[in-house]
Amino acid sequence: MIVDHDLVIVGGGLAGLAAALKAAPDLDVVVISKVHPLRSHSVAAQGGINAALGNHPEGKDDSWEKHAFDTVKGSDYLSDQTAAELMCQRAIPVLYELEHLGVPFSRFPGGVIAQRPFGGAGFPRTCYAADRTGLVILHTLYEQALRRKVRFYEEWLVTNLVVREGRCYGLLAYDLHSGEIISIRAKAVIFATGGYGRVYQKSTNALINLGSGIGMAFRAGVPLKDMEFVQFHPTSLLGKNILITEGARGEGGYLINNQGKRFMADYAPSTMELAPRDIVARAIQTEINEGRGFEGEYVYLDLRHLGKEKIIKRLPGIREICLYFGGLDPIEEPIPIQPAQHYSMGGIDVDENCASPIEGFYAAGECSCVSVHGANRLGGNSMLETVVFGQIAGRFASEYIKDIKGSQSDEKALGYIQDEAARLQSKVNQWLKNKSKRNVYHLFHRLRHLMMDKVGIFREKKKLAEALEEIREIRHEYRHLSLWSDCLHYCQEFITMMEFESMLDIAEVITMGALAREETRGSHYRTDFPTRDDQHWLKHTIARYNDGRPQLTYREVKITRYEPQERKY
Ligand SMILES: Cc1cc2nc3c(=O)[nH]c(=O)nc-3n(C[C@H](O)[C@H](O)[C@H](O)COP(=O)(O)OP(=O)(O)OC[C@H]3O[C@@H](n4cnc5c(N)ncnc54)[C@H](O)[C@@H]3O)c2cc1C
């Protein structure tokens, strides 16, 4: 089957829906998502979204410039300052736009949008709806998309991006309902496919976050940027790794080791529990590694002193998570927590208009790297990025389509897409023909454990080199796997087989970038190079797909007004 659209947006999370709402109304726009849009990972975002509204009594002196400074400092000076400034300036009108669209934010007594403190922020500037902020924003944008009659293809897994001669012509997708491969011709494509959290064994991300958008774009010739920067969230529920929002510390929660001590005093004496995530996650892991954790695995996040009323009003979702998944009530007991992979700072290389070097191909949200977060993202800045840059992508992709109208040869596009579909079909035929004793899940689990053990919070040359070798071995085995299922309707095994190739690419690029970067910056901590080295490494890593192997080059960081300084909290 072949379908035709002007603009195809892949991803029904916040970035994809923000793009759809800003696309020109006279274009034929469609949103594709591998799950129902309301099941996108954005729905799980808890703590809030940043904007310097100055509504908090302690936030009267806040400004977008101070927000930009905190973002740049939080990024360990790797973010492009022009991009950080753009995002923080846009944050204020975007927040009011969300309010007017109907997002039910929590309020202060006077009626203005409530704000809470978050890590690495100079002022309380995180706007929230209790601890279900992502849910309410996603639902509101989805309602607005339905109201404007945006079309959705739900439960379609995009498998290939069709790029020829530096230009994007369309996509291929697997329709889970019919088991069919669909060819999609498009004048422009926006990827809003989210993060790759599940490449790591311990992750707060949804099970669907395998990163296939990032891998697909990479193999089609789009560069990736700063992939070695992987955020580990300090507080995930022990064992389950469900996120316990930073908002819990924002509301005043303490981190306690087995000596009953608030150990953050030893790591970030002035900001304590509200230091940026990279610092708090390393502090917790250090306490555990040095024997000051519990059972060698966790420390406590203690909310009891906040009192029942505050916990129920401000953190109801966290209480439910603890009751249902941890078997404890945080009003009465401390929460056992451990760090887990949480966010992808790196991603598809795009500029401030969300344009990639490939004509007609755009990306926004967590799958992309503009870059605003540099080496470490501040809490509350990601939802902001998805909406700000989702809107920008929708606008610029629409303009591009209007400029090229009529100039794209439909016949040529069709030929390229059919050629790609034939290649995909022969790959699938080979999987059906192979007679491997193993299925993809063996390799899936092996890769995720490997990334956690050797490319995690603390990194060093030997382990990174071992990881790289093993990723290449796993890739070799993957090429000879067979598909055990013979029915392709709703076939989870087929989905995992398709997406696993991207997981391998992502793992390889993260590891190569981490091995090459002989310094410590933000989330990238090298025990053998424990300091930041601006002289050699104040630069972005760019990975290109070169005949099956990633190749790394580097690019300057854009600096405007915030000179790199030592990062102290
Ligand atoms: C538990 C949790 C809590 C968080 N809390 C906060 C917070 O409080 N504040 C904050 O700022 N940030 C938070 N974040 C981060 C933030 O929520 C995410 O970075 C952001 O929502 C990502 O949005 P997105 O639109 O880029 O992607 P997603 O919401 O992940 O959506 C991706 C979309 O792409 C689709 N897709 C992916 N691959 C394919 C494919 N191959 N074919 C078809 N469709 C595909 C999916 O179906 C989905 O619709 C949190 C993250 C997590 C995991």
pLDDT tens by residue, 90-118: 999 999 999 999 999 999 999 999 999 99
Mean pLDDT, residues 484-500 taken together: 93
Full-model pTM: 0.97
| Ligand 1 pocket test, candidate residues 40, 190, 232, 315, most atoms within 8 A of CB | 40
Confidence of residue 405 (pLDDT cuts 50, 70, 90): low
Question: Between the CA atoms of 192, 194, 199 and 201, what dihedral angle is there, to the nearest 10 degrees?
Answer: -160
| Ligand 1 pocket test, candidate residues 46, 193, 314, 497, most atoms within 8 A of CB | 193
CB 348 within 8 A of CB 333: no
Element spanning 340, H or E: strand 335-344
Element spanning 12, H or E: none
Burial (CB count <10 Å: 0-12, 13-18, 19+), residue 238 = buried
- Of 410, 422, 487, 475, which Cα lies nearest the Cα of 447? 475
Q: Which pLDDT score, from 0 to 100, does residue 411 have?
A: 85
* Cis peptide leading into residue 368 (ω within 30°): no
Q: Which pLDDT score, from 0 to 100, does residue 406 have?
A: 58
Mean pLDDT, residues 248-263 taken together: 97
How many CA atoms does the CB half-sphere of 533 hold within 13 Å?
12
Give Cβ neighbours of residue 281 (< 8 Å, ≥ 6 apart): 232, 233, 234, 339, 457
Which residues are 541's β-sheet partners? 554
What proportion of the chain, given as a percentage, has pLDDT over 90?
Answer: 95
For residue 158 and ligand 1, the question of a CB distance below 6 A is answered with yes
Give Cβ neighbours of residue 552 (< 8 Å, ≥ 6 apart): 512, 513, 516, 541, 542, 543
For residue 8 and ligand 1, the question of a CB distance below 6 A is answered with no
Nearest ligand 1 atom, CA 37: 49
Instruction: Flag whether pLDDT at 326 surpasses 80.
Output: yes
Residue keyed to tokens 């529920």: 237
Cite the active site residues: 277
Nearest ligand 1 atom, CA 197: 53
44-61 per-position pLDDT tens digit: 999 999 999 999 999 999
Burial (CB count <10 Å: 0-12, 13-18, 19+), residue 531 = exposed
Instruction: Flag whether pLDDT at 409 surpasses 80.
Output: no
16 Cα–ligand 1 center, Å = 10
For residue 347 and ligand 1, the question of a CB distance below 6 A is answered with no
What is the CATH class of 235-342? Answer: alpha beta
CB 300 within 8 A of CB 294: yes
CA-to-CA dists, residue 169 to 15, 335, 360, 397, 502, angstroms: 22, 50, 8, 14, 20
Mean pLDDT, residues 4-25 taken together: 97
For residue 366 and ligand 1, the question of a CB distance below 6 A is answered with yes
Q: Find the distance separating the first CA and the last CA of the chain, reported in whole Å.
A: 57
Max CA distance (Å), the chain: 71
Whose Cα sits closest to atom 8 in ligand 1? 47
| Residue 472 token pair | 């290449």
Cα separation of 430 and 432, whole Å? 5
Neighbours of 93 (CB within 10 A): 11
Give Cβ neighbours of residue 138 (< 8 Å, ≥ 6 apart): 13, 14, 17, 37, 38, 40, 42, 43
Whose Cα sits closest to atom 2 in ligand 1? 45
What number of H helices and E strands is found in the chain? Answer: 15, 21
The DSSP secondary structure of 90-139, one letter per residue, reads HHHHHHHHHHHHT----B-TTSSBPEE--TT-SS--EE-STT-HHHHHHH
For residue 213 and ligand 1, the question of a CB distance below 6 A is answered with yes
For residue 212 and ligand 1, the question of a CB distance below 6 A is answered with yes
CB 227 within 8 A of CB 513: yes
Mean pLDDT, residues 201-221 taken together: 97
Sequence-ordered alpha helix ranges (H) in 133-276: 133-147, 212-219, 247-250
Select the CATH number that applies to the domain covering 434-553 from these four: 1.25.40.10, 1.20.58.2050, 1.20.58.100, 1.10.3210.10.
Answer: 1.20.58.100
Instruction: Flag whether pLDDT at 407 surpasses 60.
Output: no
Whose Cα sits closest to atom 13 in ligand 1? 45
Neighbours of 443 (CB within 10 A): 21
Q: Where are the beta strands (DSSP E) in 413-508?
A: 458-459
Burial (CB count <10 Å: 0-12, 13-18, 19+), residue 229 = buried
What proportion of the chain, given as a percentage, has pLDDT over 70?
Answer: 99
Domain ranges across the chain = 2-229+346-403, 235-342, 434-553
CATH of domain 2-229+346-403: 3.50.50.60
For residue 210 and ligand 1, the question of a CB distance below 6 A is answered with no
Cα separation of 315 and 500, whole Å? 36
Cα separation of 24 and 407, whole Å? 19
Give Cβ neighbours of residue 28 (< 8 Å, ≥ 6 apart): 4, 5, 6, 7
Mean pLDDT, residues 278-306 taken together: 97
Chain-centroid distance of CA 265 in Å reads 30
Q: Which pLDDT score, from 0 to 100, does residue 408 have?
A: 61
Which residues are 248's β-sheet partners? none
Cα separation of 156 and 181, whole Å? 9
Q: Where are the beta strands (DSSP E) in 515-559?
A: 525-526, 539-546, 549-556
| Ligand 1 pocket test, candidate residues 216, 371, 383, most atoms within 8 A of CB | 383
CB 416 within 8 A of CB 378: no
CA-to-CA dists, residue 72 to 66, 430, 445, angstroms: 10, 48, 35
Q: Indicate the range of 166-180, 189-203, 261-275, 396-410 predicted with least confidence.
A: 396-410
